[in-house]
Structure 1
């Protein structure tokens, strides 16, 4: 039995349909990330699962029990908010155990649960402090501890790291990953940050305009994006997209005479004389490969980040970005010979935005 089933969930506000039939089946111990831009409906879906909003249609089932109409406190779900939501006048110890206190859990049992959560989160020295005496990362650990002590069937996280600076976000991502690996808990996590999604999730649901564009593992999302939106939303720098037309000799870059030659076996699977988007990840280009598909980049900007060199320029009059070894020699205004493997190519129908399968 699936731990969580989201069955054709819809949500409308007046005449505006925010969720347009969401279907997800989540197994026990999975870490699902709802990923998408602001306004895509991910937080609305999380609130419906938590019971903070009711759906217009569909069903939510947790371990086989429908949650429609069930009060939030009776759903056996714990939620961690973006804003920490700590009580400023209570110590860390009481903040973590407050939910158990309200449920009349015996003191000894409550203190044991708080101590265990503090040990897991490595905040034992902070138990007698108040929230105003804590850093942002420490406050978020306390908020997570308050959810942990309840030992619920499902954890919900609503952009819990967005208020932290870059270094703290990285540290907290590691902590969340460690906790999930230790506790094998079932998690639904909302974020607009693709790095969080890729590093934390066992599966990612990429959402857009109230629908799921693709639901798959991080590897599948990155290596085989189902749509143009997924291809460009996941990845930094984002995937290059070139307008091309399939010809008997290869892919002609629109607006010029540059042709990318393809093996006949691959070319035969591509619709001829149709507008196609050719996608290539920036990191898939090489300058030292003896074989591969040749491209010449007219370099305009060179950026050294430390571990990589980012070249921005054009191929056949269209924009392209390549990330290469920092030892690569390139200057603005020069031509750089690049190669890429046929397995690095992603093809999409320019009109529908759907992936063209060539495997």
Structure 2
């Protein structure tokens, strides 16, 4: 039995369809990240799971039981919000235990649950403080602690780290990952941050315009994007997309004399004169003399610290390459960028779908 089943969920507001038939089955202990840009429907879907919004049609089952029409407090879920949603007049101890207090859990049992959660989150020394005396990261730990003591079937996180600075976000990502590995809880986590998605998820649902573009492991999403949208949304810098035409079994880059052999996994894309889009991730390029190659002219070199990011022109098309930081490249220098055949992605120009077999 799946811990969470989302079956053909649709949501409309008047004539606007926000969710267009979402289907996901989540096994116990999975960490699902709903990833997408603002307005894609990910928070709406989370709110429907939580009972904070009603679906227009479809079903949501938690532990095999339909929860449509069930009050949020009776759904066996706990939610962590972006805003922390702490009571400013209560201590950390009472904030963590507030839900148990409302459920009339006996004081000794409640205190033990609070102290166990505080120990797990390493905030035992903060139990007597008020939220105003805490940092942003500490407040988020308190909000997570309040969810932990409930011991729910499913944890829901709604962009919980978006209010934190970069250093705290990294620390809290590690903390959430550690907690999930220890507790084996089932999690649905909403974010627009691809780094959070890639580092935390056991599976990612990339959403766009109320639909799921692709559902898979982080490795599948990154290495085998099913659509152009997924290819460009996941990855920083984003995947390079170059116009090519298939001629006599070779991929000819538009505006250049460069042609590349068509990898065997794309044989089904065969069709002389067919216009396609070639995708190569910036980190796939190197400057040594091995593999396939593309000629380019460097425009801008940006040192980020761990890598040198090159913007270059090949014909009239622009691409980016991530190279080792000490690579000796100057502006307006002619480059030969090498890459392996396995780095090639091909997409249909009309549909945006991957041309790889099985997709």
Q: TM-score normalised to the size of structure 2?
A: 0.97
Query: Which shows bigger deviation, 344-353 or 308-317?
Result: 308-317
Q: Which residue of 2 aligns with 1:270?
A: 269
Q: Tell me the equivalent position of 1:286.
A: 286
**RMSD of equivalent CA atoms:** 1.2
CA apart distance, 1:16: 0.4
Distance 2:54 2:7 in 1: 14
Q: Identify the residue that residue 17 of structure 1 maps to in structure 2.
A: 17
CA drift at 1:26: 0.2
**Structure 1: runs of 5+ lacking an equivalent:** none
| CA distance in 1: counterparts of 2:265 and 2:82, whole angstroms | 47
Change (3 A) 1:45 1:125: same
| Aligned ranges 1:95-244 → 2 under 5 Å | 95-244=95-244
Aligned to 2:312: 313
State how far apart, in whole Å, the 1-side matches of 2:321 and 2:260 are.
19
Q: 1:267 to 1:132 in 2, by over 3 A?
A: closer
Aligned to 1:329: 328
Deviations 1:197-240 (A, max 9, x none): 00000000000000000000000000000000000000000000
How far residue 258 of structure 1 moved from its aligned partner, in angstroms, is: 2.6
Q: Contact 1:248/1:267 (CA < 8 Å) preserved in 2?
A: no
Distance in 2 (alpha carbons) for counterparts of 1:187 and 1:327: 41
Taking the aligned partners of 1:267 and 1:179, their CA distance within structure 2 comes to 42
Query: Do residues 38 (structure 1) and 6 (structure 2) align?
Result: no
1:51-70 paired onto structure 2 within 5 Å = 51-70=51-70
In the TM superposition, structure 1's runs of 4+ consecutive aligned residues that sit over 6 Å from their partners are none
1:253 Cα offset (Å): 1.4
Unpaired runs of 5+ residues, structure 2, are none
Check whether the contact 2:292–2:339 (CA below 8 A) recurs between aligned residues: yes
Q: What residue is the counterpart of 1:353 in the other structure? A: 352
* CA distance, structure 1, for counterparts of residue 64 and residue 265 of structure 2: 46
Deviation at 1:193, TM superposition (A): 0.3
Q: Which moved more, 1:215-224 or 1:268-277?
A: 268-277
CA–CA separation in structure 1 for the residues paired with 2:42 and 2:284: 31
TM-fit CA distance, 1:270: 3.1
Q: Distance in 2 between matches of 1:276 and 1:130?
A: 59
Aligned residues: 357
Residue 264 of structure 1 and its aligned partner are, at CA, apart by 7.3
